[in-house]
Amino acid sequence: MSTGSDMHALVRRLYPICRSITGDGLRRTLEIISEYVPLRLREVPTGTPVLDWTVPKEWNIRDAYIADSEGNRVVDFAASNLHVVGYSVAVSTTMPLSRLREHLHTLPEHPAWIPYRTSYYAPTWGFCLAQDTLDAMAEGDYEVRIDSTLEDGSLTYGEHVVPGEVTDEVLVSCHVCHPSLANDNLAGIAVACSLARELAESNPHYTYRFLFAPGTIGSITWLARNAERIDRVKHGLVLACAGDRGGLTYKRSRRGDAEIDRVLEHVLRESGRRHRIVDFTPYGYDERQFCSPGFNLGVGSLTRTPYAGYPEYHTSADNPDFVSPEAMADTLATCLEAFAVLDRNRRYVNQSPYGEPQLGKRGLYDSLGGRSDAKTAQLAMLWVLNLSDGEHSLLDIAERSGLSFDATADAAAALSRAGLLKD
């Protein structure tokens, strides 16, 4: 499932489901994801303390509408699940439009779009609708009904692990709690599924752990349940807004100079892709949980246009037509290139550090015969030998020498085979 069209098909399949931070829509989403990458599902009961938070009650919804005096549904949950404010409590009443307006949300600047609103932790109810719809509603009484439940249940999240040569982990996280929003969050889910499948075929060095969890409370719950093994997470990446046509944006970890930060910056710069690098801020997606000061993990965030950076963000205009197969394929390719660098980035020690070792007698020059990049490969060997003092990584050497990471890594591999380097 590594083509853009395949990822786009998954976005379309997931799009109609009404998701939230808990509930059957979230479970159904994880069930579909597990058809692409097997998931280990976790259910954490309502009321469970998780760091400074508590797992909330579970919310489920079956139907909702606003009907006029003739019974016509002017706002209908069946037409768009964005019509209901997330976590709305049940309501069944009749009221005049003058009172109903207090519970209605629109986007006057985009009168044909439906906004996305939630109220997870303050029990209330409401509807979201197009401003055009509201403008067409006559004064008078309306039947208002939300058929929902908010009761004890559980929070669900899923994990998929791609085993590596070592147990040190790279954490890849995406949120799975938004309803019908294609770029935020379905494109990130689709890219993560393809990324997991591609990595499984590459025999990676690191173990890659994929986390599919509701935003904020999901990552906080995962951190609370994994605090004793969090030191295994050496690097991480949060994926979101992965399918719009904007350039790529990488947001650094809180550390600012973590290895994942340097790798993404290097890959984006060398690739020639249109991109931006931005510093960490404690606002955004779940990188802010992984980078909270008590954990301070080396976790960055990769998006295309970042959250709230495009007009369609958190509106009905963020539909499957807004995301493109080409953009998702480009996001996937960027992740694969970055993880290929991360997997091969090592520190070596020169085993013949006194003077320049003779490469010819070890057949290293002969191995370059006929290569169009023989001079570059030879120069890469000399740089790797000179800077392999146990302090410089291959990425350090590539950046200092101005050579590509691939040339540097290939040189290190050849020198290791000749016994001149020790990992």
Contact 184, 11 (CB under 8 A): no
Give the span between the Cα atoms of 335 and 191, in whole angstroms: 9
Q: What's the CA gap between 106 and 134, in Å, rounded?
A: 8
Return the ∠ at Cα 123 (arms to 117 and 127), rounded to 5°: 35
* 184 labelled binding-site residue: yes
Nearest to 102 by CA among 87, 90, 86, 85: 85
Q: Is 205 annotated as belonging to a binding site?
A: no
Q: Which amino acid is at 243?
A: G
Establish whether 314 is an annotated binding residue: yes
Four-residue CA torsion sign, 178, 181, 183, 189: positive
DSSP secondary structure string, 280-319? --S-SSTHHHHTSTTT---EEEEESSPTT-STTTTBTT-S
Integer angstrom CA distances of residue 280 from 251, 286, 301 = 6, 12, 9
Q: What CA–CA distance (Å, rounded) separates 191 from 201?
A: 16
CA 151 to CA 247: how far, in whole Å? 42
Q: How far is CA 322 from CA 11, 285, 382, 401, in A?
A: 11, 20, 49, 41
Distance CA 187, CA 327 (A): 9
In the annotated binding site for Zn(2+), the residues are 178, 184, 314
In the annotated binding site, the residues are 178, 184, 314
